[in-house]
Chains A and B, each alone.
Chain A
Amino acid sequence: MNSQFKRGVLELCLLHVLEDQPMSTYEVLALLSEKLDINENTVYPLLRRLEQDALITHEKRYGEMGAPRKVYLLTEKGKQEKQEKHKAWSDFISRVHSVLGGHHDA
Protein backbone atom coordinates (compact mmCIF):
# COMPACT_ATOMS: atom_id res chain seq x y z
CA MET A 1 0.00 0.00 0.00
CA ASN A 2 1.21 3.51 -0.81
CA SER A 3 3.10 4.85 2.22
CA GLN A 4 1.51 8.28 2.12
CA PHE A 5 -1.94 6.82 1.92
CA LYS A 6 -1.14 4.54 4.83
CA ARG A 7 0.15 7.47 6.85
CA GLY A 8 -3.05 9.41 6.25
CA VAL A 9 -5.11 6.44 7.46
CA LEU A 10 -2.84 5.98 10.45
CA GLU A 11 -3.31 9.62 11.37
CA LEU A 12 -7.09 9.23 11.29
CA CYS A 13 -6.93 6.04 13.38
CA LEU A 14 -4.65 7.73 15.88
CA LEU A 15 -6.98 10.70 16.26
CA HIS A 16 -9.88 8.28 16.62
CA VAL A 17 -8.38 6.20 19.40
CA LEU A 18 -7.26 9.26 21.30
CA GLU A 19 -10.75 10.73 21.14
CA ASP A 20 -12.08 7.84 23.20
CA GLN A 21 -9.50 8.10 25.97
CA PRO A 22 -6.07 9.55 26.74
CA MET A 23 -3.36 7.01 25.92
CA SER A 24 0.41 6.66 26.28
CA THR A 25 2.65 6.05 23.25
CA TYR A 26 2.93 2.41 24.24
CA GLU A 27 -0.84 1.97 24.50
CA VAL A 28 -1.39 3.58 21.10
CA LEU A 29 1.39 1.47 19.60
CA ALA A 30 0.06 -1.77 21.10
CA LEU A 31 -3.50 -1.07 19.98
CA LEU A 32 -2.71 0.02 16.45
CA SER A 33 -0.02 -2.56 15.69
CA GLU A 34 -2.42 -5.28 16.81
CA LYS A 35 -5.14 -4.15 14.44
CA LEU A 36 -3.22 -2.63 11.56
CA ASP A 37 -0.11 -3.66 9.68
CA ILE A 38 2.00 -0.65 10.66
CA ASN A 39 5.65 0.08 11.26
CA GLU A 40 6.15 0.56 14.98
CA ASN A 41 8.61 3.39 14.30
CA THR A 42 5.95 5.57 12.70
CA VAL A 43 3.68 6.04 15.71
CA TYR A 44 5.80 8.18 18.03
CA PRO A 45 6.98 10.62 15.28
CA LEU A 46 3.38 10.97 14.18
CA LEU A 47 2.30 11.75 17.75
CA ARG A 48 4.99 14.44 17.86
CA ARG A 49 3.79 15.98 14.65
CA LEU A 50 0.16 15.96 15.71
CA GLU A 51 1.17 17.65 18.93
CA GLN A 52 3.17 20.30 17.04
CA ASP A 53 0.08 20.92 14.93
CA ALA A 54 -1.95 21.34 18.14
CA LEU A 55 -4.25 18.47 17.20
CA ILE A 56 -3.31 16.58 20.33
CA THR A 57 -1.79 17.56 23.63
CA HIS A 58 -0.36 15.61 26.51
CA GLU A 59 -0.74 15.44 30.25
CA LYS A 60 0.92 13.43 32.99
CA ARG A 61 -0.88 10.42 34.36
CA TYR A 62 0.11 9.32 37.83
CA GLY A 63 -0.04 5.61 38.41
CA GLU A 64 0.25 3.65 41.66
CA MET A 65 3.87 3.01 41.03
CA GLY A 66 6.68 4.31 38.84
CA ALA A 67 7.22 7.68 37.23
CA PRO A 68 4.27 9.71 35.92
CA ARG A 69 3.39 8.73 32.38
CA LYS A 70 2.79 11.06 29.45
CA VAL A 71 -0.60 10.43 27.89
CA TYR A 72 -1.92 12.07 24.76
CA LEU A 73 -5.42 13.41 24.26
CA LEU A 74 -7.30 15.22 21.53
CA THR A 75 -7.63 19.00 21.53
CA GLU A 76 -10.73 20.78 20.24
CA LYS A 77 -8.89 21.42 16.98
CA GLY A 78 -8.01 17.72 16.89
CA LYS A 79 -11.63 16.71 17.37
CA GLN A 80 -12.69 18.91 14.50
CA GLU A 81 -9.87 17.57 12.30
CA LYS A 82 -10.81 14.01 13.18
CA GLN A 83 -14.43 14.63 12.18
CA GLU A 84 -13.39 16.10 8.85
CA LYS A 85 -10.94 13.29 8.14
CA HIS A 86 -13.46 10.68 9.18
CA LYS A 87 -16.08 12.13 6.87
CA ALA A 88 -13.60 12.34 3.97
CA TRP A 89 -12.51 8.77 4.61
CA SER A 90 -16.08 7.40 4.76
CA ASP A 91 -16.92 9.23 1.59
CA PHE A 92 -13.82 7.89 -0.12
CA ILE A 93 -14.45 4.30 0.98
CA SER A 94 -18.04 4.52 -0.10
CA ARG A 95 -16.93 5.65 -3.56
CA VAL A 96 -14.32 2.90 -3.77
CA HIS A 97 -17.00 0.34 -2.92
CA SER A 98 -19.27 1.70 -5.57
CA VAL A 99 -16.47 1.38 -8.13
CA LEU A 100 -15.68 -2.14 -7.01
CA GLY A 101 -19.35 -3.09 -7.15
CA GLY A 102 -19.86 -3.33 -3.43
CA HIS A 103 -23.04 -2.48 -1.52
CA HIS A 104 -22.23 1.11 -0.66
CA ASP A 105 -23.56 3.89 -2.82
CA ALA A 106 -21.74 7.04 -3.62
Chain B
Amino acid sequence: MRKERFLETLDEALLEEGFVKEERREIVEDYQALIEEAVERGEDVEAFIRKLGTMNEILKQLQRSRQKRSSSGEKWIAVSPFVALILFFILGLGFDAWHPGWLSFFLVPMVAILMESRGVEKWLAVSPFLITTVFMLVGTYTGLWDPYWSLYVLIIAFALTTSDNRTIKTMSVVPLLSVVLYIVLFYTQPQWAWWLRLLVFLPVLPLVFFTNVIDVRFQGEKVGVWFVFKQPTFWLGLGAFLLTSALYLGLVWLSGLWHPTWLIFLILPVGGLLYAQVIRKETVHLVAYMPFIALTIFFLVGHFLGGYAYSWLAFLLIPIVAILTDQTDDER
Protein backbone atom coordinates (compact mmCIF):
# COMPACT_ATOMS: atom_id res chain seq x y z
CA MET B 1 0.00 0.00 0.00
CA ARG B 2 1.30 3.46 -0.83
CA LYS B 3 1.87 6.01 1.89
CA GLU B 4 -0.93 8.38 0.80
CA ARG B 5 -3.42 5.52 0.51
CA PHE B 6 -2.38 4.15 3.90
CA LEU B 7 -2.80 7.54 5.59
CA GLU B 8 -6.15 8.15 3.92
CA THR B 9 -7.41 4.69 4.96
CA LEU B 10 -6.12 5.28 8.47
CA ASP B 11 -7.95 8.62 8.72
CA GLU B 12 -11.20 7.08 7.47
CA ALA B 13 -10.87 4.13 9.83
CA LEU B 14 -10.18 6.44 12.79
CA LEU B 15 -13.29 8.48 12.01
CA GLU B 16 -15.31 5.27 11.76
CA GLU B 17 -13.94 4.24 15.16
CA GLY B 18 -15.06 7.51 16.76
CA PHE B 19 -11.73 9.28 17.10
CA VAL B 20 -12.23 13.03 17.26
CA LYS B 21 -10.72 15.33 14.67
CA GLU B 22 -7.85 16.50 16.84
CA GLU B 23 -6.81 12.93 17.67
CA ARG B 24 -7.11 11.86 14.02
CA ARG B 25 -4.96 14.70 12.79
CA GLU B 26 -2.28 14.00 15.37
CA ILE B 27 -2.22 10.24 14.69
CA VAL B 28 -2.15 10.63 10.90
CA GLU B 29 0.65 13.22 11.15
CA ASP B 30 2.65 10.95 13.43
CA TYR B 31 2.26 7.96 11.08
CA GLN B 32 3.23 10.17 8.17
CA ALA B 33 6.39 11.28 9.97
CA LEU B 34 7.14 7.67 10.94
CA ILE B 35 6.89 6.43 7.34
CA GLU B 36 8.90 9.36 6.00
CA GLU B 37 11.69 8.74 8.46
CA ALA B 38 11.70 5.02 7.59
CA VAL B 39 12.05 5.91 3.91
CA GLU B 40 14.82 8.43 4.67
CA ARG B 41 16.70 5.66 6.41
CA GLY B 42 16.50 3.41 3.40
CA GLU B 43 13.46 1.26 4.14
CA ASP B 44 11.07 0.28 1.37
CA VAL B 45 7.83 2.16 1.96
CA GLU B 46 5.47 -0.70 1.13
CA ALA B 47 7.45 -3.24 3.16
CA PHE B 48 7.54 -0.84 6.11
CA ILE B 49 3.77 -0.25 5.98
CA ARG B 50 3.25 -4.04 5.93
CA LYS B 51 5.48 -4.27 8.98
CA LEU B 52 3.19 -1.88 10.84
CA GLY B 53 0.45 -4.55 10.73
CA THR B 54 -3.05 -4.59 9.34
CA MET B 55 -5.35 -1.60 9.75
CA ASN B 56 -7.45 -3.61 12.22
CA GLU B 57 -4.43 -4.35 14.37
CA ILE B 58 -3.34 -0.70 14.34
CA LEU B 59 -6.84 0.44 15.33
CA LYS B 60 -7.07 -2.13 18.08
CA GLN B 61 -3.82 -0.89 19.59
CA LEU B 62 -4.83 2.76 19.25
CA GLN B 63 -8.21 2.07 20.85
CA ARG B 64 -6.48 0.36 23.71
CA SER B 65 -4.18 3.31 24.22
CA ARG B 66 -7.06 5.79 24.40
CA GLN B 67 -9.28 3.69 26.67
CA LYS B 68 -7.21 4.73 29.60
CA ARG B 69 -8.91 7.74 31.14
CA SER B 70 -7.43 10.26 33.45
CA SER B 71 -8.08 9.40 37.06
CA SER B 72 -9.88 12.70 37.80
CA GLY B 73 -12.11 12.14 34.73
CA GLU B 74 -12.84 8.61 35.91
CA LYS B 75 -13.89 9.91 39.32
CA TRP B 76 -16.33 12.40 37.82
CA ILE B 77 -17.76 9.74 35.51
CA ALA B 78 -18.11 7.31 38.41
CA VAL B 79 -19.78 9.83 40.68
CA SER B 80 -22.17 11.29 38.07
CA PRO B 81 -24.90 8.56 38.34
CA PHE B 82 -25.15 9.20 42.06
CA VAL B 83 -25.25 12.99 41.67
CA ALA B 84 -27.96 12.52 39.00
CA LEU B 85 -29.91 10.21 41.29
CA ILE B 86 -29.72 12.58 44.27
CA LEU B 87 -30.75 15.52 42.08
CA PHE B 88 -33.64 13.48 40.67
CA PHE B 89 -34.70 12.56 44.18
CA ILE B 90 -34.59 16.19 45.39
CA LEU B 91 -36.59 17.39 42.38
CA GLY B 92 -39.11 14.57 42.72
CA LEU B 93 -39.65 14.50 46.47
CA GLY B 94 -39.06 18.20 47.13
CA PHE B 95 -40.84 19.73 44.16
CA ASP B 96 -42.93 16.83 42.84
CA ALA B 97 -41.05 17.26 39.60
CA TRP B 98 -40.41 13.61 38.72
CA HIS B 99 -41.01 14.87 35.25
CA PRO B 100 -38.93 16.70 34.02
CA GLY B 101 -36.59 15.81 36.91
CA TRP B 102 -35.59 12.65 35.04
CA LEU B 103 -33.56 14.95 32.82
CA SER B 104 -30.96 14.95 35.61
CA PHE B 105 -29.92 11.52 34.31
CA PHE B 106 -28.55 13.25 31.23
CA LEU B 107 -25.73 14.25 33.54
CA VAL B 108 -24.31 10.75 33.20
CA PRO B 109 -23.65 10.73 29.43
CA MET B 110 -22.83 14.46 29.47
CA VAL B 111 -20.10 14.11 32.09
CA ALA B 112 -18.70 11.06 30.30
CA ILE B 113 -18.58 12.94 26.98
CA LEU B 114 -16.99 16.04 28.49
CA MET B 115 -14.37 14.01 30.32
CA GLU B 116 -13.58 11.55 27.52
CA SER B 117 -13.72 13.65 24.38
CA ARG B 118 -11.31 16.28 23.25
CA GLY B 119 -11.57 19.47 21.27
CA VAL B 120 -14.63 21.21 19.95
CA GLU B 121 -16.26 17.89 19.03
CA LYS B 122 -17.19 17.29 22.63
CA TRP B 123 -19.61 20.24 22.46
CA LEU B 124 -21.17 18.71 19.36
CA ALA B 125 -21.57 15.39 21.19
CA VAL B 126 -23.05 17.02 24.27
CA SER B 127 -25.37 19.39 22.34
CA PRO B 128 -28.31 16.92 21.87
CA PHE B 129 -28.49 16.45 25.64
CA LEU B 130 -28.28 20.18 26.38
CA ILE B 131 -30.90 21.01 23.74
CA THR B 132 -33.25 18.23 24.89
CA THR B 133 -32.98 19.54 28.45
CA VAL B 134 -33.88 23.09 27.43
CA PHE B 135 -36.63 21.84 25.07
CA MET B 136 -38.22 19.61 27.72
CA LEU B 137 -38.07 22.32 30.40
CA VAL B 138 -39.56 25.01 28.16
CA GLY B 139 -42.14 22.59 26.71
CA THR B 140 -43.21 21.22 30.08
CA TYR B 141 -43.54 24.56 31.86
CA THR B 142 -44.82 26.79 29.05
CA GLY B 143 -46.37 24.30 26.60
CA LEU B 144 -44.41 25.97 23.83
CA TRP B 145 -43.14 22.77 22.20
CA ASP B 146 -43.43 24.76 19.00
CA PRO B 147 -41.37 26.94 18.27
CA TYR B 148 -38.70 25.61 20.63
CA TRP B 149 -38.31 22.25 18.85
CA SER B 150 -36.30 24.36 16.42
CA LEU B 151 -33.45 24.41 18.94
CA TYR B 152 -32.49 20.98 17.57
CA VAL B 153 -31.37 22.73 14.38
CA LEU B 154 -28.56 24.17 16.50
CA ILE B 155 -26.91 20.72 16.44
CA ILE B 156 -26.03 21.49 12.82
CA ALA B 157 -24.43 24.75 13.97
CA PHE B 158 -22.32 22.83 16.49
CA ALA B 159 -21.36 20.33 13.79
CA LEU B 160 -20.24 23.09 11.44
CA THR B 161 -17.98 24.63 14.09
CA THR B 162 -15.93 21.41 14.11
CA SER B 163 -14.87 21.90 10.49
CA ASP B 164 -11.26 22.72 9.63
CA ASN B 165 -12.44 24.96 6.85
CA ARG B 166 -12.88 28.55 7.99
CA THR B 167 -15.67 29.31 5.50
CA ILE B 168 -17.67 26.31 6.68
CA LYS B 169 -17.02 27.17 10.31
CA THR B 170 -18.37 30.68 9.70
CA MET B 171 -21.53 29.19 8.17
CA SER B 172 -22.53 27.92 11.62
CA VAL B 173 -24.16 31.33 12.00
CA VAL B 174 -26.80 30.32 9.37
CA PRO B 175 -28.58 27.66 11.49
CA LEU B 176 -28.31 29.96 14.49
CA LEU B 177 -29.98 32.86 12.64
CA SER B 178 -32.63 30.51 11.18
CA VAL B 179 -33.61 29.36 14.67
CA VAL B 180 -33.75 32.94 15.98
CA LEU B 181 -35.81 34.02 12.96
CA TYR B 182 -38.18 31.05 13.33
CA ILE B 183 -38.84 31.90 16.99
CA VAL B 184 -39.26 35.63 16.22
CA LEU B 185 -41.73 34.85 13.38
CA PHE B 186 -43.66 32.57 15.71
CA TYR B 187 -44.35 35.49 18.03
CA THR B 188 -44.63 38.31 15.49
CA GLN B 189 -46.46 36.58 12.62
CA PRO B 190 -48.85 34.13 14.29
CA GLN B 191 -51.23 34.40 11.31
CA TRP B 192 -48.66 32.75 9.03
CA ALA B 193 -49.22 29.12 8.11
CA TRP B 194 -46.76 26.80 9.95
CA TRP B 195 -45.18 25.61 6.71
CA LEU B 196 -44.44 29.18 5.69
CA ARG B 197 -42.36 29.72 8.80
CA LEU B 198 -40.51 26.50 8.13
CA LEU B 199 -39.07 28.06 4.98
CA VAL B 200 -36.50 29.87 7.13
CA PHE B 201 -34.69 26.54 7.46
CA LEU B 202 -34.19 26.16 3.71
CA PRO B 203 -30.69 27.70 3.77
CA VAL B 204 -29.71 25.22 6.48
CA LEU B 205 -30.45 22.12 4.37
CA PRO B 206 -27.41 22.30 2.07
CA LEU B 207 -25.18 22.97 5.06
CA VAL B 208 -25.99 19.54 6.48
CA PHE B 209 -23.68 18.18 3.81
CA PHE B 210 -20.78 20.21 5.18
CA THR B 211 -20.93 18.85 8.68
CA ASN B 212 -18.46 16.29 9.90
CA VAL B 213 -21.35 14.05 10.74
CA ILE B 214 -21.90 13.37 7.09
CA ASP B 215 -18.73 13.85 5.17
CA VAL B 216 -18.10 15.61 1.86
CA ARG B 217 -15.12 17.09 0.10
CA PHE B 218 -14.93 20.81 -0.41
CA GLN B 219 -12.19 22.43 -2.48
CA GLY B 220 -10.30 19.15 -2.42
CA GLU B 221 -10.35 19.05 1.37
CA LYS B 222 -12.24 16.49 3.33
CA VAL B 223 -14.74 18.47 5.34
CA GLY B 224 -17.10 16.26 6.74
CA VAL B 225 -21.13 12.40 3.62
CA TRP B 226 -18.63 11.47 1.07
CA PHE B 227 -16.95 8.45 2.53
CA VAL B 228 -19.61 7.75 5.09
CA PHE B 229 -21.78 6.92 2.10
CA LYS B 230 -19.18 4.32 1.19
CA GLN B 231 -19.55 2.63 4.54
CA PRO B 232 -22.14 -0.17 4.70
CA THR B 233 -22.88 0.91 8.27
CA PHE B 234 -24.18 4.25 7.00
CA TRP B 235 -26.75 2.54 4.76
CA LEU B 236 -27.60 0.09 7.51
CA GLY B 237 -28.11 2.99 9.92
CA LEU B 238 -30.18 4.96 7.42
CA GLY B 239 -32.33 1.88 6.64
CA ALA B 240 -32.84 1.18 10.34
CA PHE B 241 -33.79 4.81 10.98
CA LEU B 242 -36.35 4.86 8.11
CA LEU B 243 -37.85 1.53 9.21
CA THR B 244 -38.07 2.64 12.83
CA SER B 245 -39.66 5.95 11.80
CA ALA B 246 -42.25 4.07 9.70
CA LEU B 247 -42.92 1.73 12.61
CA TYR B 248 -43.25 4.72 14.98
CA LEU B 249 -45.71 6.54 12.73
CA GLY B 250 -47.69 3.30 12.26
CA LEU B 251 -47.91 2.71 16.01
CA VAL B 252 -48.85 6.35 16.65
CA TRP B 253 -51.58 6.06 14.00
CA LEU B 254 -52.93 2.91 15.69
CA SER B 255 -52.63 4.06 19.32
CA GLY B 256 -52.73 7.85 19.09
CA LEU B 257 -49.85 7.95 21.58
CA TRP B 258 -46.88 10.09 20.56
CA HIS B 259 -45.47 9.49 23.97
CA PRO B 260 -44.12 7.03 25.11
CA THR B 261 -44.22 5.38 21.65
CA TRP B 262 -41.08 7.36 20.79
CA LEU B 263 -39.22 4.85 22.94
CA ILE B 264 -39.19 2.69 19.81
CA PHE B 265 -36.33 4.89 18.59
CA LEU B 266 -34.16 3.43 21.34
CA ILE B 267 -33.91 0.40 19.03
CA LEU B 268 -31.37 2.43 17.06
CA PRO B 269 -28.66 2.92 19.71
CA VAL B 270 -29.30 -0.56 21.11
CA GLY B 271 -29.08 -1.98 17.57
CA GLY B 272 -25.79 -0.08 17.14
CA LEU B 273 -24.39 -1.69 20.27
CA LEU B 274 -25.59 -5.15 19.18
CA TYR B 275 -24.05 -4.61 15.75
CA ALA B 276 -20.71 -3.71 17.33
CA GLN B 277 -20.87 -6.68 19.67
CA VAL B 278 -22.22 -9.42 17.38
CA ILE B 279 -21.08 -8.45 13.89
CA ARG B 280 -17.89 -6.53 14.57
CA LYS B 281 -16.93 -8.65 17.56
CA GLU B 282 -16.16 -5.59 19.66
CA THR B 283 -16.31 -5.61 23.43
CA VAL B 284 -19.56 -4.04 24.60
CA HIS B 285 -20.18 -4.13 28.32
CA LEU B 286 -23.64 -5.04 29.51
CA VAL B 287 -23.78 -1.72 31.32
CA ALA B 288 -23.83 0.09 27.95
CA TYR B 289 -27.34 -1.29 27.32
CA MET B 290 -28.63 -0.33 30.74
CA PRO B 291 -29.47 3.40 30.19
CA PHE B 292 -31.82 2.38 27.32
CA ILE B 293 -33.41 -0.46 29.26
CA ALA B 294 -33.78 1.78 32.34
CA LEU B 295 -35.28 4.63 30.31
CA THR B 296 -37.81 2.22 28.71
CA ILE B 297 -38.86 0.76 32.06
CA PHE B 298 -39.01 4.27 33.58
CA PHE B 299 -41.42 5.60 30.95
CA LEU B 300 -43.54 2.45 30.54
CA VAL B 301 -44.11 2.05 34.29
CA GLY B 302 -44.44 5.83 34.76
CA HIS B 303 -46.86 6.40 31.91
CA PHE B 304 -49.06 3.30 31.91
CA LEU B 305 -49.06 2.55 35.65
CA GLY B 306 -48.86 6.19 36.83
CA GLY B 307 -45.76 5.33 38.83
CA TYR B 308 -43.12 7.95 38.00
CA ALA B 309 -42.48 8.24 41.75
CA TYR B 310 -41.24 4.65 41.74
CA SER B 311 -40.21 3.97 38.17
CA TRP B 312 -37.04 6.08 38.61
CA LEU B 313 -35.71 3.09 40.54
CA ALA B 314 -35.11 1.54 37.11
CA PHE B 315 -32.13 3.87 36.76
CA LEU B 316 -30.48 2.09 39.66
CA LEU B 317 -29.99 -0.73 37.17
CA ILE B 318 -27.11 1.24 35.67
CA PRO B 319 -24.83 1.40 38.71
CA ILE B 320 -25.98 -2.04 39.95
CA VAL B 321 -25.10 -3.74 36.67
CA ALA B 322 -21.85 -1.76 36.52
CA ILE B 323 -20.85 -3.01 39.97
CA LEU B 324 -21.93 -6.59 39.32
CA THR B 325 -20.16 -6.84 35.99
CA ASP B 326 -17.08 -4.87 37.00
CA GLN B 327 -13.94 -6.89 36.34
CA THR B 328 -10.32 -6.24 35.81
CA ASP B 329 -9.73 -5.81 32.13
CA ASP B 330 -6.50 -7.67 31.70
CA GLU B 331 -6.27 -6.52 28.13
CA ARG B 332 -5.50 -2.98 29.18
Question: Chain B contact residues (Cβ within 8 angstroms of A): what range?
Answer: 20 to 34
Q: How far is B32's CA from A69's CA once the two chains are assembled, in angstroms?
A: 11
Cβ-defined contact, A53 with B37, below 8 A: no
The interface residues of chain B, by DSSP majority, are classed as: helix
Residues of B within 8 A of A52 (CB): 65-66, 68, 70
Cβ-defined contact, A48 with B65, below 8 A: yes
Which of B37, B66, B68 interacts with A69 by CB under 8 Å? B37
Kindly state whether residue A42 has any CB partner on chain B within 8 Å: yes
Q: How far is B64's CA from A92's CA once the two chains are assembled, in angstroms?
A: 26
Kindly state whether residue A44 has any CB partner on chain B within 8 Å: yes
Kindly state whether residue B40 has any CB partner on chain A within 8 Å: yes
Cβ-defined contact, A40 with B51, below 8 A: yes
Cβ-defined contact, A25 with B30, below 8 A: yes
Residues of B within 8 A of A4 (CB): 330-331
Tally of A-B residue pairs with Cβ under 8 A? 60
Kindly state whether residue B284 has any CB partner on chain A within 8 Å: no
Q: How far is B27's CA from A42's CA once the two chains are assembled, in angstroms?
A: 14
A25-B30, A69-B37 known; A39+B57 contact, CB < 8 A: yes
Residues of B within 8 A of A24 (CB): 33-34, 37
Residues of B within 8 A of A48 (CB): 27, 62, 65-66
Kindly state whether residue B61 has any CB partner on chain A within 8 Å: yes
Cβ-defined contact, A41 with B53, below 8 A: yes
Residues of A within 8 A of B37 (CB): 24-26, 69
Residues of B within 8 A of A42 (CB): 61
Q: How far is B62's CA from A42's CA once the two chains are assembled, in angstroms?
A: 8
Q: How far is B66's CA from A41's CA once the two chains are assembled, in angstroms?
A: 15
Residues of A within 8 A of B27 (CB): 48
Q: How far is B17's CA from A45's CA once the two chains are assembled, in angstroms?
A: 15
Question: Chain A contact residues (Cβ within 8 angstroms of B): what range?
Answer: 20 to 34
Q: How far is B50's CA from A40's CA once the two chains are assembled, in angstroms?
A: 10
Most B CB within 10 A of own CB, among A3, A26, A42, A53: A26
Cβ-defined contact, B52 with A45, below 8 A: no
Which of B41, B52, B330, B331 interacts with A41 by CB under 8 Å? B52
Within 8 A of A (CB), among B21-39: 27, 30-31, 33-34, 36-38
Within 8 A of A (CB), among B52-107: 52-53, 57-58, 61-62, 64-66, 68, 70
Q: How far is B68's CA from A44's CA once the two chains are assembled, in angstroms?
A: 15
Kindly state whether residue A49 has any CB partner on chain B within 8 Å: yes
Kindly state whether residue A46 has any CB partner on chain B within 8 Å: yes
Q: How far is B53's CA from A46's CA once the two chains are assembled, in angstroms?
A: 15
A4-B331, A26-B41, A39-B57 known; A70+B51 contact, CB < 8 A: no
Kindly state whether residue A17 has any CB partner on chain B within 8 Å: no
Specify the chain A residue showing the minimal Cβ separation from B40: A66
Expressed in whole angstroms, the minimum distance between the Cβ of B219 and any Cβ of chain A is 24
Residue ranges of B at the interface with A (Cβ–Cβ < 8 Å): 27, 30-31, 33-34, 36-38, 40-41, 51-53, 57-58, 61-62, 64-66, 68, 70, 330-331
4 closest Cβ contacts across the A-B interface?
A41-B53, A45-B65, A45-B61, A49-B65
10 contacts between A and B (CB under 8 A): A4-B331, A24-B37, A25-B34, A26-B41, A44-B34, A44-B61, A45-B64, A46-B61, A49-B66, A69-B37
Residue ranges of A at the interface with B (Cβ–Cβ < 8 Å): 3-4, 24-26, 29-30, 39-42, 44-46, 48-49, 52-53, 66-67, 69-70
